[in-house]
A and B are shown apart, each in its own frame.
Chain A
Amino acid sequence: MFSKDSRQLVLAHFWVAFIAFFAALLLGEWHMVIRSPLLDWIGNPELYYRSVTAHGSAMGYVFPTLVAMGFGYAIVELSLKQALVGRRWAWTGFILVMLGTVIAMVPVALGKASVLYTFYPPLIAHAAYYIGVVLVVVGSWIWVALMSVNLRAWKKAHPGEAVPLPMFANVAGAYLWAWTSVGAAVEILFLILPVALGFKSTIDAGLARVFFSWTLHAIVYFWLMPAYIAFYTLVPRAIGGRLYSDVMGRISFILFLVFSMPIGIHHLFQDPQVGAGVKFLHAVFTAMVSVPTLLTVFTITASVEIAGRLRGGTGALGWVKALPWHNPMMLAVAFSFILLGFGGAGGLINMSYQLDFAVHNTQWITGHFHLIFAGAIVIMYFAVAYDLWPHLTGRALVHGGMMKAQLWLWFVGMIILTFPWHVVGVMGMPRRMAYFDYTNPEIAPQAITVTLSAIGGLLLVISGVLFLLVLLRGHRSGIVDLPEFRFSQPVHAPGRLPAALNSYALWLALMIGLSLVNYGYPIAQLVALKQTSVPAVPIGGTP
């Protein structure tokens, strides 16, 4: 079942998400072009930081949040096979996100909020920027509550039954987001907004950064959730296979819930306000979070192998050739895994305290998170959209060649964009720089890498145009009578599950407990410490 109202709700989320994504994509390419030696320097660095703020805020807050919300609403109806409870609230949440986006973007466009999406206190933007971000988050909290309410309604109607894996993972993602967004919310409400509204003129930047790190890493796992849900519940079905293990999927999502939160201080390895022991603790748990990813890579590769063998592939590697490579979902998952592999390897370097010294705050880091988010995750967002679109519009999505070209372009473009960033990062190019003078012999050799990245970015823009074209044409093609939407079937149906694998209480308790262990002392100590505030630096005023 997929009611018309819910389809409109999901489509609204997806369209706003993809429009925000495309606008931010254009800004991203502009950054690369003006930083490269291809064009003359724009003359005003403020324009660059204004644009980076818009790019990061749209890509980091608006786009993935709306995709996760829209996909979540679709999962409720498609996997639980029950009407969405609280549709009016869902629209309220959507409107709050829209409103928040506009309220935040106006000061950004006016140059009053060039603080980048990570806020960077003691930089202080116009208060409207933070209020807008808070509204986006509050809108998403409505979604979190609705996911919980809908699952509860289903459990009441189906006592003792195993929660379908898509919904189990979806709600895990919602709870993860609820808890991880608390850090940034506290930072904005208690530290930044009093300054932005003029009640205070100093800010404890160190404490604010610790609170932001609470959000900053786990937010990536919130972005990742729709992609992982697609790995487990869409990919095997789309390529004609079966999910190798339903239980493994549940364990992976549970591990994300427990481990992705209390690790954010690895973003502060070079910050002096946090002790080395605390940093080590966070590094260890950062390593632990690779476990669910490795479990997923194993399970999905096994599921894909099942598909290959069902299609007649034999031998150690013969099944790879037998896979349906014409299928966009097959391409997307293969590209996603390759990008995830490179990005993950870079991530292991970043989480190692000593190695991080070499790459911290260089272009390497930008390369890393673009590989993971813009590469591995966003390519699965495309695949999710392609897979759901006919069920959302009731019309066929026929342009298979265009979809494949789009995915190929995104994959190749992302590699051409990010690999030179890694190289130039090791050469020492700092990130967040508006301008480089390549006539300086010291950095002249870096010029070619920036040009390469700009070319990669151009491929991504073309891919983005194709993506929107495919979806737009999907609204105008012939009406089709579709079979009921199905998620992947596991090899072994889960049957009755232990309570631990069918509910969240234990894992939420561990998540909160571990967060308190890993963040309790640094936060308490910084709150108690006197004389740690520094004068705020307002944006947009006279310097």
Chain B
Amino acid sequence: MNEPLFSLKNRWFTIAVAAVAAIAAIAAAIGFLWVPRAHARDAMTSLWESICSAAGAPAPYRNPGLPEDKAIYPTSVIVSSEFTGPIDNVSVGRGATLALQCSMCHGARGTASAGTNAPHLAGQPPSSTYKQLRDFKSGHRPSVVMQPLATNLSDQDMRDLAAFYSQQQRETLVGHAGIRIEVPRIVSNGSPMRNVGACATCHSPGVARVATPILDGLPAVYITDQLKAFKAGRRANDINQQMRNAAHALTDEEIDVLARYYASR
């Protein structure tokens, strides 16, 4: 009865403290290390970042290649419906002139020639082309080719280019039309168990979502590159991590299937 309570010789003390500490340590290891690592949405997340996120420390995404004030935002464009405004003919005409300097890769009327692997711009929603040009210029979408080209464009130039390309018809390449690939499930249904939405909910010509490109006919190499860049976090100009979240859960095989499917259309 008179034995000291807080003493290593008291088995009640040592066992009780060790048991409680062990439960806490195991629970913390699962809750702060194992589960966050297993669930890490963004492959760029470091161990320390995932611990902080599990602890609830708010940490906005930071793009290390950008100055501090820009780094916390995925883009400097505020996207809203109709933010590019109505298309007028003057704008399209100016855009046609400006587009001459793009024709080397993106084709004379916005359809890239085979082998360049550049995306076609013909028929893309103006909001999509405009946002990407802004992101190239600001550095939110890094590209050694596009960034220097976009640097000298004014805001109106970008709007005009976007307007011009939106009015063009995509030219279907010869010998391409016959191949029809069945719609992959990930396009039509997504993968609900992995929290991947159906691609077609946004990327479908009939949907016309703002700032969302149409993927039909884009080169397979380009689609593969972009999905892998989203997956790895190298490309991070998607608002609310929409594309990074979706691409993170995709396997390489799925990316391959998606690229071939969209390229075939």
Contact = CB atoms under 8 A, between A and B. Distances in A.
B27 interface: yes
B57 A525 contact: yes
B10 A284 contact: no
Interface string A274-316: 1111111100110010000000000000000000000000000
B148 interface: no
A377 B20 CA distance: 28
Nearest to B1: A160
A510 B21 CA distance: 9
B56 A278 contact: yes
Interface stretch (A86-94, A415-423, A496-504): A496-504
A375 to B, nearest CB: 29
Interface string B13-55: 1001100100110111011100110000000000000010111
B122 to A, nearest CB: 43
29 contacts: A258-B16, A274-B56, A275-B56, A276-B31, A276-B54, A277-B28, A277-B51, A279-B31, A280-B35, A280-B54, A281-B24, A281-B27, A281-B31, A284-B26, A284-B31, A285-B23, A285-B24, A498-B1, A499-B5, A499-B10, A499-B12, A500-B13, A505-B5, A506-B13, A507-B16, A510-B16, A513-B20, A514-B24, A521-B56
Contact of A275 (B17, B27, B55): B55
Contacts of A258: 16, 20
B55 A521 contact: yes
B3 interface: yes
A496 B56 contact: no
A499 B55 contact: no
B35 A500 contact: no
Interface string A507-543: 1011001100110011001000100000000000000
Interface size class of B (residues with CB under 8 A): 20 to 34
Contact of B24 (A275, A507, A517, A522): A517
Contact of B1 (A281, A499, A513): A499
B27 A500 contact: no
A273 interface: yes
Nearest to A510: B20
Contacts of A505: 5-6
A503 B5 contact: yes
B58 interface: yes
Contacts, number: 95
B17 A280 contact: no
B37 to A, nearest CB: 11
Nearest to B24: A517
The 4 closest A-B pairs by CB, nearest first: A275-B56, A277-B54, A280-B31, A500-B12
A276 B35 contact: yes
Contacts of A276: 31, 35-36, 53-54, 56
Contacts of B31: 276-281, 284
A506 B12 contact: yes
Nearest to B36: A277
B58 A529 contact: yes
B10 A280 contact: no
Interface in A341-393: none
Contacts of A529: 58
B43 to A, nearest CB: 19
Contacts of A498: 1, 3, 10, 12
Contacts of B51: 277
A522 B56 CA distance: 7
Pick from A258, A273, A284, A501 the residue with the most CB of B within 10 Å: A284
A518 B24 CA distance: 9
Given A500-B16, A503-B5, A281 B28 contact: yes
A510 B24 CA distance: 12
Contacts of A277: 28, 31-32, 35-36, 51, 54-56
